[in-house]
C-alpha cells in the first residue's frame, strides 16, 4: 500500500490527504528506502549529482519578534546582541567568494536598524563587487513596498518559512502580535514581485500533528515555491519549549523525499538543524532528495550568538573548514559541491 502511494506521488506529484497521513505515520526502513530511491532519481533527472552551496551570513541577532521556539527572540535576555556592519558583511562575501560561493544569504532577526535604505545600500554594494552572485534575503516580514525596493536594489531570492500551514498551530508557536495571515501575505507578495521564494516549516514543532504536516505539504504544492527549507525543531533552553522533544530524523527525511516527488524542481536544503540532530544528518538529507547545503560564512566571533536552538553545529569553525568538511561529506555519498549560483531550474 505504501509503495502504491509513493508510486502515485512520483507519477502525479500529488497524493490525497489520507494517503499522506498513512505514509507519514509509517515508520518502516523498507518504505523509506523505496521513497528515497525514487526521490534521488527525480532529483538527479533535474539537478544531476550537483549540490549547491549557499553562504549564510547571520548579520544580526536583534529581533523585535518573540517566536516561542526561537533562541534569539526578543525576550531572551541571555543573548549577547550584535549586528554586523556593512564592512563586516562585505568581508564575509569576500571570504566566501574565494571559497567558491556564488550565493550569499543574508539572514537575521527583524532588526529595525536595517531599514530599506540601509539594506539597499548593502545589496547594491554586494552586487557591484560580485555581479555573478545571487543574493538571498531572510529577514522576516516586511511590507510589500519594502520587498519591492530590496528586489529593485538587486536581491534575487527570499526565504520566509511559513512555519506551519495550520492557522491554529501558527498561533501556538507565536505571540498574538504576529499573524498567520500576514506571513502568508508576505509569501504571496514576494512571489508576485518576482523573487525566487523559499517557504518551509519545522518538523516536530510543539503541538504539531501529522494532519498539520499534510497541510504543510499541500500548502507547498499549491504555493509552488522555488525553495523549501525544512528541518527538525530543536528545543532551546531559554525558551518556553525548553523541555519539548526535538523533531525526528526519519520523519524529516521522509518529508524531504515526499517534497522532492511533489515538487521535482525544488531547491531543497539539507539543513544545519538536520546536521545537528544526527552526525550524518545532512548526508542522509542529500540521499533523501535534498540538493543544497548552507554552510555558515558569519565571522566566528559572532557565531555562538546566533543560536536559534541548542547545540547548533559548526559554531566555532572558520568558513573554510566548513566547506572542506561539507565537500568531504557530500562526496562520501556520491554527490559533488559545485561553484554555481544554483538557480531554480524550471521545467
Ligand atoms: N527572522 C527570519 C529568520 C528566521 S531564522 C524570519 O522570520 O524568517 C530561520 C528559521 O530557523 C526559522 O524560520 C525557523 O523555522 C528556524 N528555527 C527557529 N528556531 C528554531 C528551533 N528552535 N529549532 C529548529 N528550527 C528553528
* CB contact set of 96 (below 8 Å; sequence gap of 6+): 55, 57, 104, 297, 319
**pLDDT tens for residues 195-206?**
999 999 999 999
Q: How does the average pLDDT of the chain come out, rounded?
A: 98
pLDDT of residue 243: 98
pLDDT at 251: 98
| Cell representation of residue 88 | 563586516
Determine the residue of 58, 60, 66, 69 to mutate for testing ligand 1's pocket, defined as the one with the most ligand atoms within 8 A of the Cβ atom.
69
> Closest Cα to atom 8, ligand 1: which residue?
140
Q: How far apart are CA 19 and CA 35, in angstroms?
A: 14
Q: What is the pLDDT of residues 121-173, one digit of tens each?
A: 999 999 999 999 999 999 999 999 999 999 999 999 999 999 999 999 999 99
Q: What is the pLDDT of residues 107-127, one digit of tens each?
A: 999 999 999 999 999 999 999
Q: Whose CA is nearest to atom 13 of ligand 1?
A: 161
pLDDT for 211-261, tens place per residue? 999 999 999 999 999 999 999 999 999 999 999 999 999 999 999 999 999
CA angle, 134 then 160 then 310, to 5°: 105
What DSSP designation does 150 have?
H
Residues with CB under 6 Å of ligand 1 are 69-70, 107, 109-110, 138-140, 160-161, 163, 202, 231, 233-234, 236, 273, 308-309
% of the chain with per-residue pLDDT over 70 = 100
CA of residue 308 to ligand 1 center, whole Å: 6
Tell me what pLDDT residue 127 has.
Answer: 98
Mean pLDDT of 67-90: 98
User: What residues have CB less than 8 Å from 137, skipping those under 6 apart?
Assistant: 105, 106, 107, 119, 150, 155, 157, 158, 159
Tens of pLDDT, residues 40-61: 999 999 999 999 999 999 999 9
Percentage of the chain surpassing pLDDT 90? 100
| DSSP assignments along 273-300, one per residue | HHHHHSTTHHHHHHHTT--EE--B-S-H
Q: Which of 136, 164, 202 to mutate to test the pocket of ligand 1 (most atoms within 8 A of CB)?
A: 202
Sign of the four-CA dihedral 6, 8, 14, 20: negative
Q: In this predicted model, which residue has the larger pLDDT, 347 or 29?
A: 29
Predicted confidence (pLDDT) per residue in 301-331, tens digit: 999 999 999 999 999 999 999 999 999 999 9
Which ranges in the chain belong to alpha helices (H)? 2-12, 17-25, 29-47, 86-98, 116-129, 144-153, 167-173, 180-193, 210-223, 249-262, 272-277, 281-287, 300-303, 319-332
What is the position in ligand 1's atom list of the atom closest to the CA of 202? 15
Atom of ligand 1 nearest to the CA of 161: 13
Protein residue with least CA distance to atom 25, ligand 1: 233
Strands ordered across the beta sheet of 50-53: 292-293, 50-53, 336-338
Radius of gyration of the chain measured on its C-alpha atoms: 19
Sign of the dihedral through C-alpha 257, 262, 268, 273? negative
**What integer is the mean pLDDT of 177-190?**
98
Residue 314 φ/ψ region, left for φ over 0, alpha for ψ in the -120 to 50 degree band, beta for the rest: left
Q: Which atom of ligand 1 has the smallest separation from the CA of 239?
A: 22
- Our mutation pick for probing the ligand 1 site, out of 271, 309, 312, 313, counting the most ligand atoms within 8 A of Cβ, is 309
Atom 24, ligand 1: which residue's CA is nearest? 233
pLDDT at 157: 99
- Ramachandran sector of residue 27 (left: φ over 0; alpha: ψ -120 to 50; beta: rest): beta
Which pLDDT value is given to residue 254? 98
Amino acid at each position: 500500500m505504501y509503495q502504491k502511494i509513493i508510486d502515485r506521488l512520483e507519477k502525479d506529484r500529488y497524493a490525497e490527504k489520507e494517503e499522506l497521513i498513512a505514509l507519514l505515520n509509517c515508520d518502516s526502513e523498507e518504505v523509506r528506502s523505496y521513497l528515497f530511491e525514487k526521490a534521488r532519481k527525480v532529483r538527479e533527472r533535474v539537478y544531476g549529482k550537483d549540490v549547491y552551496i549557499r553562504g549564510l551570513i547571520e548579520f544580526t541577532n536583534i529581533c523585535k519578534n518573540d517566536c516561542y521556539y526561537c533562541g534569539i527572540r526578543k525576550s531572551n535576555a541571555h543573548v549577547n546582541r550584535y549586528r554586523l556592519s556593512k564592512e563586516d558583511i562585505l568581508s564575509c562575501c569576500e571570504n566566501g567568494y574565494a571559497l567558491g560561493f556564488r550565493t550569499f544569504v543574508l539572514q537575521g532577526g527583524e532588526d529595525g536598524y536595517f531599514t530599506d535604505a540601509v539594506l539597499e545600500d548593502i545589496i547594491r554594494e554586494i552586487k557591484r563587487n560580485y555581479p555573478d552572485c545571487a543574493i538571498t534575503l531572510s529577514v522576516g516580514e516586511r511590507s510589500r513596498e519594502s520587498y519591492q525596493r530590496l528586489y529593485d536594489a538587486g536581491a534575487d531570492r527570499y526565504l520566509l518559512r511559513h512555519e506551519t500551514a495550520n492557522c491554529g498551530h501558527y498561533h501556538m508557536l507565536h505571540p498574538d502580535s504576529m499573524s498567520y495571515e500576514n506571513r502568508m501575505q508576505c509569501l504571496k507578495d514576494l512571489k508576485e514581485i518576482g523573487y525566487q521564494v523559499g517557504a518551509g516549516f519545522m518538523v516536530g514543532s510543539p503541538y504539531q500533528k501529522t494532519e498539520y504536516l499534510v497541510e504543510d505539504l499541500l500548502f507547498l504544492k499549491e504555493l509552488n515555491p522555488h525553495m523549501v527549507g525544512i528541518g527538525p525543531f530543536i528545543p532551546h533552553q531559554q525558551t518556553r519549549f525548553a523541555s519539548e522533544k526535538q523533531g525526528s530524523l526519519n520523519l524529516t527525511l521522509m518529508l524531504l523525499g515526499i517534497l522532492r516527488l511533489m515538487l521535482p524542481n525544488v531547491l531543497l536544503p539539507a539543513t544545519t538543524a538536520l546536521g545537528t540532530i544526527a552526525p550524518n544528518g545532512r548526508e542522509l538529507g542529500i540521499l533523501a532528495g535534498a540538493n543544497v547545503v548552507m554552510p555558515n560564512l558569519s565571522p566566528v566571533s559572532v557565531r555562538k550568538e546566533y543560536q536559534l536552538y541548542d547545540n547548533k553545529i559548526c559554531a566555532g569553525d572558520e568558513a573554510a573548514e566548513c566547506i572542506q568538511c561539507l565537500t568531504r561529506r557530500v562526496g562520501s555519498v556520491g554527490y559533488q559541491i559545485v561553484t554555481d549560483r544554483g538557480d531554480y531550474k524550471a521545467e
